Structure 1
Amino acid sequence: MKTPFKAILLLIFLTFLAFSCSRKKDKFINRNFHAVTAEFNALYNGYNALEQGKQTLNDAYFDNYWEVLPIERMQIFEDIVLPGQSKNENFTRAEEKAAKAIQKHSMNIDGKEKNPQMDEAYLLLGKARYFDQRFVPALEALNYILYKYPASDKINQAKVWREKANIRLDNNELAIENLKRLLKQEDIEGQDLADATSILAQAYLNQKIIDTAITQLEIASNATKNNDERGRYRFIQGQLYNKLGYKDSANIAFDKVIELNRKTPRIYMISAYLEKVKNFDFENGNKLEVTELLTELEENRENRPFLDKIYHQIGTYHLQNGSDSLAVAYYNKSLRTDSRDKLLKAKNFETLGDMNFDASVYAEAGEYYDSTMSNLVINSKPYRIIKRKRDNLKDVIYYESVAKVNDSILRLVNLPEAEKLAYFESFVEDLKAKAEAEKEKQEAAERNSGLATVNTIGSQPNRVGPQSQSNTFYFYNPTTVAFGKNEFVKNWGDRTLEDNWRWSSKGISSGGNNNATIDIAASASEEERFDPQFYISKIPSTEKEIDSISKDRNYAYYQLGLIYKEKFKEYELAKGKFQNLLNSNPEERLVLPSKYNLFKIYELLGENDEASIAKDEIIAKYPESRYATILKNPELVTKRDENSPESLYEALYIQHENQEYSDVISKSEDYIKTFDGETMVPKFELLKATATGRLHGYEAYKKAINYLAITYANTPEGKQAQNIESNILPRLINKDFVKASDSINDNYKVIFKFEEPQSEAIASFKETLDTVLKNVRYYKLDTSIDVYNPNTKFILVHGLKNEQVAKTFDQLLTEEDQKKIKAPYFVASSTNYQIIQIHKNLDAYLNIDNN
């Protein structure tokens, strides 16, 4: 009896299930079956997936506390997502579950939805698309709820989420209008009110209406049931008050965040404390209280994840309080925490760089600015500002390095033999101690490696992966890694990770002769490395070598003096460099400009006695110099000085424009000697190089540009020469002429050649030619004069676009005009004429069958 009874019950249940599965019947059983199935199956799993996706977003999102936080923690990606793709699989799953609920459980009968869970399904669909950053499809799903389910209990949520999507699409005005209507027409409260007012605050923030945003955040903070949200809203309120300059109101908002304590994420509380410290009044505030607060934050074990921010703020507090050494210590502590906040690192490096810059330690400032740029977005505004600072330091860092290294070498040169030996014996002892320590470290690493191998073999014989390859793969074996590091230092020295690290100049940094010696030690054999005589033998000994080092050092001093005086206005530093130069037996060309610059510095520093002595010395010893003329006639400084390098350069440039290349070259050479050591010299060199190229061709130009690029590498003209050498010269190297068939669209020039020309004869022929060309019909022709080389000039006729017409140019003239123009001519396309002028290969062109 029991078996048939169970079968009957099963049959009844299956019959009930079959009838209730229908989505076309508006029955109590059907409605509730689909509602319950949708809610506790598809929608339940969909909302679980949505929460997992939101958690993934929150974990990946990193708030930038240097700016006003966004209301909603959500990273917006600029990447374009193709249809069918998704940034987060959880949101895809949530969307699929929502779509499944709609497809399988919707009961649309006579135009009305009978399943009460469908509005929830469309809301899930809209949320999933919103978090997947597909805002237009999200709007479509949310608008469907407003259109199809106006009586739904989810209608207010749908309206809020629709406006969130509108804000993401930059429809802020529309969102504000709709949300204000919602708050006016509907009596909403609780979390719905918090969501509506918080997103309205975001719309106002996007519109830069800060005071109204603060009001809406106050409503949201009081209405929300989520303490995480409350802490965030209160903190943003404080940030906005700070932005408006209301520090007292900001501190009240931050106090409310602090009162939440463990009810809200600790980052908000720590950031609130730090923002209050930023608002501290150093004139009237209690510094002891702030010091105690910062100490407590630093020592609290719960704050370890936030020590990067705490250390930075302590450093900033000490800097503002005048304790520079403490500030440096805490900025370095903040950097050692290995913070995820790249902007925090950049601010630490920038502040340290600024401190070194203010202290005139420019080489270290440059290194800090390099580190700052590595933590900033390339080509962003902050990056460009720091790069400009760094570029200004490039020259001073270079010349300081040259001066320091060469000074160190010259000191070694001048040491007595006994002191040289003592110095390098001490150096070798240090090397031996370091080598012994490294050897012990290697042996310890080998022992540990052997023990680890035994343990691995004994306990996990079948293990696969990197650990099992410790005897074969280089980087998994500590012994080989340690050996490799040691060999690298031996061969290359201690070099920073940067482009072109192999260059020898990279090994000689600002560390003086110690770094240079370490480089020599790294390249030495094992026997030489610990022999003091080896290093003594490397000291320059010939007079030529020593003179070269001395000249480089002196020139570096001179350039440093000019840079400190003109660019950084560091007159004391500039004075020291010029005085060091004059005490170092400099070349004669540097003496007079150095003394004149010292005179100007003495005047700027108010050292009138020294200025008077310097002035008298220049006038007495160099009476014919330009500087003596200026000192005797100070009014020349305010008037136009025709003998100044600037004026002479302008006059020479006009000669260059007039193709007086020989004069330009000879005068440039004279001016380079006259003004040697001054900032105008590279300009004269560049003008000379250009004139040389125009007069003598490609090879001479290449040689002159190469000299300029090497000799004046750190000047704008030197950098321009480097660019020409790298990018322009390779495009000019081709000297093959273009065939007529390959230059169909080219213009053609009729060229009259004059050897050893007289200016009067050239001018007369050009005047006659111009008169003749006015009578040519159908063509608009004009002429010009070009210099080919020191002995040859061309008169060119322009305006012909057909090679055959150009070759029969004389036939365009009337019989009377033909008698006036009897000089022979040849024809060249514009491209070939350019090649002729660049490579000075006219003979080669005339020897081919072109005319």
Structure 2
Amino acid sequence: MLITSCSRKKDKFINRNFHALGTKYNVLYNGNIALEKGRETVDNAATDNYWQLLPIERMQVTEEIILPGQSKNQDFERAEEKAIKAVQKHGMNIKGKEYNPQIDESYLLLGQARYFDQRFVPALEAFNYILYKYPASDKINTAKVWREKANIRLDNNKLAIKNLKRLLEQEELEDQDLADATSILAQGYINVKSKDSALTQLAIAADFTKKNKEKARFNYIIGQLYNEFGIKDSANLAFDKVIDMHRKIPRPYYINAHLAKSNNFDIENGNQIEFLEYLTDLEEDRENRPYLDKIFYRIAEFHRTNERDSMAIAYYNKSLRTNLGDKELKSRDYATLGDMSFDIAEYKVAGAYYDSTMMNMKLNSKPYRVVQRKRENLEDVIYYEDIAQSNDSILRLVNLSEIDRLTYFTAYTEELKVLAEAEREKAEAEERRNASGSGLKTKENNAQLGSKAGGKSMTNSTNTRGGKESNFYFYNPTTVAYGKSEFAKVWGDRELKDNWRLSDSKGNGFNSIETIDVAANASDEERFDPEFYISKIPTDQKLIDSLAKERNYAYYQLGTIYKEKFKEYTLAKVKLEELLQNNPEDRLILPSKYNLYKIYIELGLSSKASAMKEDIVSTYPDSRYAKILLNPKSEFAKDENSPESLYNNLYKLFGEQQYAEVVQKAEQYISQFQGDPLVPKFEILKASANGRLVGFEAYKKGVNYIALTYPNSEEGKKAKEILETVIPIMAKKEFISNETGNHFNVMYPFANSEKNQIEEFVKKLDSAISKVSYFKLSTSVDFYDANTTFVVVHGLKSVQGSTGFAEILKENKKNKDKINRPFYSISSPNYEIVQRHKNLNQYLESQ
């Protein structure tokens, strides 16, 4: 009977049942176990981003390419092998009809294994095969649902929605099949941005699913969708359903439901005391320790909303310290701390926070670009604040008396000695711990013996509190001194008062950054010697003047940046007033006073504004600023003498090749409008005109000057880019062979004394080339240097052709069309080199 029943080609009762039982209880049983094991692996590997709308199905889709015959997961590979074995070894396909009722389930297993292994096209084939081959199968509806899941993974959303709607209309699905169908239909609606339709389907799925994980997930997504629609009451009801399941579901759903619900708290009308107690309970629950980073963030947001900034900052930092790898949360913490620092004008600190924010964001994403723009806006202020802070501290040391210098650096070296002692004690303590580790077992044995003898030994061995052995920070004077020094490194000497972190809250004004840098490169003997630091203070008057000049310019730039870009008028006022007290260059005085006048107006300081106006009008009566102040309604700033108008006129002169005049006027305007944002534009126009006038080296020098002088302006950044990428290419002076050229020109040189002949000559030349139809010829008048101008014919194909063309024009039989003038034939690349380096003579010698 066994031998007879093994046949797959006989439609007998015993044969059918033998293969059906073998398929169900052996092959498919093991295959389904492997499938569930693989699904659990996929579920554990997936990481949900609760900051965004969750996907309906918890599965992390990767872009990894799998070759035919390969698998991402061994469990799915085993499940697929079992499904194939069931078909090959137990299939009873007799005359096109399958007699083993378990084969449709084998194909379903095959499709599911491929689906979870992220091979969606082969999975779709397996599900379609069931629909085609087994239309009477009891798994037909399950196969239809899984087919649409595969379609949605392949972005065939509209097709999947159409098929699922027809399935729900035509069939009465059982509970789990109905939950699967409606949930995947909801995902389709979400993908096509019909989220209101998704809500209805998700509600059905949440009611009919038998799996608690799915019920929690669906209700959480329902809450997220209601929040997107602004219906907070319905969202909270959905989150409450998740919270009520508590221990029946994974902890992340429970905690995030609490946090999502807390985000909907009405801060104006709600009971804030009860709400804070609610958040505190979440914080103090030991089971919530893995989620403290998110809980701390939510508490920080609550305090920030209530304008308790100190508490908010403390909790944002707690969130960062307890973060277990949630980059989205880190980016939010850092971004918020950056915004808070920005709001209190701590731009350098804000810039550091924004740097950390971008490190935890997806590169080039939209949020990344938003933060990047904020950070770029801080480049200038950070750059100039560094210069001002550094140079100020050096100049203050320069202005100290010998006694004050000695006092200052004696105190500093004493701090260094304390730090060195703290480091030494720390190293010794570490050595003692390491040494005691080897004898730990012996001590434990002794302690046990002492305990048996009366317990006194254990008490004595553990009583190590107090004295030098105390671990409490403030009981150890060495660690306290170390902490003070570390604070001074970061913040300087700050006065004890509210808002001490503000940049203008300073103590004695000394900054130890420079001394720290010097100490880093000193020997041990020098580090603790005050005279060593005193010897490093600059004494050369030229260097001191240079530091003061650089500091003053930084103050001016900070004043204008705070005023124009950030509207921080108080900060701008402080910087510009300090600048005027520091004996600045003449070029900075007038624009600083005018900016201060505008700032006083904004701050409502009318008496100061009037005094500053009188000062400008009386001291600089012929200046542009005085004319604006005397007649503000004339819109003088926008007339023909405004920087913008003068720049536009100068640019027109550049286009007309009046390079000498451009250079001369650009220098005049740069001096006249020093400090104006348009000055770098005048500089780059001047550099370009100098390059056309004198040559490559002059252009290179001008671009280098712009990159060094205006490093944070758009022109300065562009100049730096030109220096790195364009200048090395332009520096090449070697002429190429005429044999390799494809485009050639004919040059007719004109001296300055012949300039009045150029216009007539060009007309005659244009008339001549208009009769040439076999080339696309054109002419141009090109400046070469202060003494020579070229009239050039473009569009010839070879050096012989260009020479021949010029000779034909020279020998023209019609005397009126004859062009009898010296000329040179040159390829277009060589012409560029000649114009760039002004080396025509070298080119002629090389021919």
Distance of 1:795 and 1:143 partners within structure 2: 76
Match for residue 425 of structure 2?
440
- Pair 1:804-2:800 in alignment: yes
Structure 1 position 687, deviation (Å): 0.6
Distance of 1:629 and 1:830 partners within structure 2: 51
Q: 2:679 aligns with which of 675, 678, 681?
A: 681
SS of equivalent residue, structure 1 residue 724: helix
Structure 1 position 815, deviation (Å): 2.6
- Pair 1:402-2:398 in alignment: no
SS of equivalent residue, structure 2 residue 784: strand
CA contact (8 A) 1:405 1:512 kept: no
Structure 1 position 146, deviation (Å): 1.9
SS of equivalent residue, structure 1 residue 280: coil
Distance of 1:780 and 1:37 partners within structure 2: 85
Structure 1 position 554, deviation (Å): 0.8
Distance of 1:167 and 1:821 partners within structure 2: 76
Change (3 A) 1:210 1:806: closer
TM-score (norm 2): 0.89
Structure 1 position 618, deviation (Å): 0.6
Structure 1 position 710, deviation (Å): 0.8
Structure 1 position 195, deviation (Å): 1.5
- Pair 1:147-2:132 in alignment: yes
CA contact (8 A) 2:628 2:637 kept: no
Distance of 2:336 and 2:826 partners within structure 1: 63
Q: 1:793 aligns with which of 764, 789, 792?
A: 789
Structure 1 position 451, deviation (Å): 7.0
Match for residue 831 of structure 1?
829
Distance of 1:451 and 1:835 partners within structure 2: 77
> Identity, % of aligned pairs?
59
Paired residues for 1:411-450 under 5 Å: 411-446=396-431
Q: 1:264 aligns with which of 242, 246, 249?
A: 249
Change (3 A) 1:104 1:771: closer
Q: 5+ unaligned residues in a row in structure 1: which ranges?
A: 1-15, 457-492, 496-509
Match for residue 821 of structure 1?
819
Distance of 1:275 and 1:516 partners within structure 2: 49
CA contact (8 A) 1:757 1:792 kept: no
Q: 1:129 aligns with which of 95, 114, 121?
A: 114
Distance of 1:776 and 1:330 partners within structure 2: 81
CA contact (8 A) 2:636 2:642 kept: no
CA contact (8 A) 2:213 2:249 kept: yes
Change (3 A) 1:181 1:798: closer
Q: 2:258 aligns with which of 263, 268, 273?
A: 273
Distance of 2:737 and 2:510 partners within structure 1: 59
| Letter of the structure 1 residue corresponding to residue 245 of structure 2 | L
Change (3 A) 1:218 1:784: closer
Match for residue 522 of structure 2?
524
- Pair 1:169-2:167 in alignment: no
Distance of 2:74 and 2:833 partners within structure 1: 63
Distance of 1:778 and 1:209 partners within structure 2: 63
Match for residue 119 of structure 1?
104
CA contact (8 A) 2:600 2:608 kept: yes
Paired residues for 1:594-633 under 5 Å: 594-633=592-631
- Pair 1:198-2:203 in alignment: no
Structure 1 position 339, deviation (Å): 2.8
| Letter of the structure 2 residue corresponding to residue 438 of structure 1 | E
| Letter of the structure 1 residue corresponding to residue 530 of structure 2 | P
- Per-residue CA deviations over 1:37-88 (Å, capped at 9, x if unaligned) read 2223322222222122212211111111111111110112223322223222
Distance of 2:194 and 2:819 partners within structure 1: 80
Match for residue 300 of structure 1?
285
SS of equivalent residue, structure 2 residue 836: helix
Structure 1 position 173, deviation (Å): 2.4
CA contact (8 A) 1:781 1:798 kept: yes
Q: 2:52 aligns with which of 63, 67, 92?
A: 67
SS of equivalent residue, structure 1 residue 538: coil
Distance of 1:85 and 1:777 partners within structure 2: 65
Distance of 1:607 and 1:819 partners within structure 2: 76
- Per-residue CA deviations over 1:122-169 (Å, capped at 9, x if unaligned) read 111010111111112111111222222223222222121111111112
CA contact (8 A) 1:596 1:618 kept: yes
CA contact (8 A) 1:561 1:577 kept: yes
What is the RMSD of the two structures over their aligned residues, measured on CA atoms? 2.3
| Letter of the structure 2 residue corresponding to residue 714 of structure 1 | N
| Letter of the structure 2 residue corresponding to residue 624 of structure 1 | D
CA contact (8 A) 2:735 2:843 kept: yes
Distance of 1:679 and 1:34 partners within structure 2: 87
Match for residue 533 of structure 1?
531
CA contact (8 A) 1:630 1:636 kept: yes
- Per-residue CA deviations over 1:275-322 (Å, capped at 9, x if unaligned) read 121111112111112111000000000000111111111111111122
Structure 1 position 768, deviation (Å): 4.2
Q: 1:664 aligns with which of 658, 662, 665?
A: 662
| Letter of the structure 2 residue corresponding to residue 262 of structure 1 | R
Q: Answer with 78-87 or 49-58: which moved more.
A: 78-87
| Letter of the structure 2 residue corresponding to residue 109 of structure 1 | I
| Letter of the structure 2 residue corresponding to residue 220 of structure 1 | A
Q: Answer with 750-759 or 811-820: which moved more.
A: 811-820
- Per-residue CA deviations over 1:375-432 (Å, capped at 9, x if unaligned) read 1111100001110111011101111111111111222222222222222122212222
Structure 1 position 22, deviation (Å): 1.7
Structure 1 position 186, deviation (Å): 2.5
Distance of 1:299 and 1:748 partners within structure 2: 83
Structure 1 position 182, deviation (Å): 2.4
Match for residue 729 of structure 1?
727
Q: 2:632 aligns with which of 634, 645, 657?
A: 634
Q: Answer with 317-326 or 418-427: which moved more.
A: 418-427
- Per-residue CA deviations over 1:623-649 (Å, capped at 9, x if unaligned) read 121111222222332674212222111
CA contact (8 A) 2:396 2:510 kept: no
Match for residue 654 of structure 1?
652
CA contact (8 A) 2:489 2:512 kept: no
| Letter of the structure 2 residue corresponding to residue 142 of structure 1 | F
CA contact (8 A) 1:578 1:594 kept: yes
Structure 1 position 210, deviation (Å): 2.4
| Letter of the structure 2 residue corresponding to residue 579 of structure 1 | E
Distance of 1:182 and 1:822 partners within structure 2: 90
Q: Answer with 613-622 or 426-435: which moved more.
A: 426-435
Structure 1 position 772, deviation (Å): 4.7
Q: 1:763 aligns with which of 759, 766, 788?
A: 759
| Letter of the structure 2 residue corresponding to residue 802 of structure 1 | S
CA contact (8 A) 1:366 1:393 kept: yes
| Letter of the structure 2 residue corresponding to residue 33 of structure 1 | F
Q: Answer with 31-40 or 447-456: which moved more.
A: 447-456
Q: Answer with 834-843 or 814-823: which moved more.
A: 814-823
Structure 1 position 340, deviation (Å): 2.0
CA contact (8 A) 1:401 1:512 kept: no
Q: 1:748 aligns with which of 741, 744, 747?
A: 744
Match for residue 550 of structure 2?
552
Distance of 1:633 and 1:766 partners within structure 2: 49
CA contact (8 A) 1:772 1:817 kept: no
| Letter of the structure 1 residue corresponding to residue 177 of structure 2 | D
- Pair 1:561-2:559 in alignment: yes
CA contact (8 A) 2:812 2:818 kept: no
Distance of 1:105 and 1:778 partners within structure 2: 81
Paired residues for 1:131-530 under 5 Å: 131-446=116-431, 513-530=511-528
- Per-residue CA deviations over 1:561-612 (Å, capped at 9, x if unaligned) read 1111111111111111111111111111100110011111112222222111
Q: Answer with 221-230 or 814-823: which moved more.
A: 814-823
Change (3 A) 1:405 1:176: same
Structure 1 position 455, deviation (Å): 10
- Pair 1:30-2:15 in alignment: yes
Match for residue 580 of structure 1?
578
Match for residue 87 of structure 2?
102
CA contact (8 A) 1:810 1:818 kept: no
| Letter of the structure 1 residue corresponding to residue 694 of structure 2 | H
Match for residue 479 of structure 1?
none
Distance of 1:779 and 1:206 partners within structure 2: 58
SS of equivalent residue, structure 2 residue 650: helix
Q: Answer with 179-188 or 152-161: which moved more.
A: 179-188
Match for residue 501 of structure 2?
none
Structure 1 position 252, deviation (Å): 1.1
SS of equivalent residue, structure 2 residue 753: coil
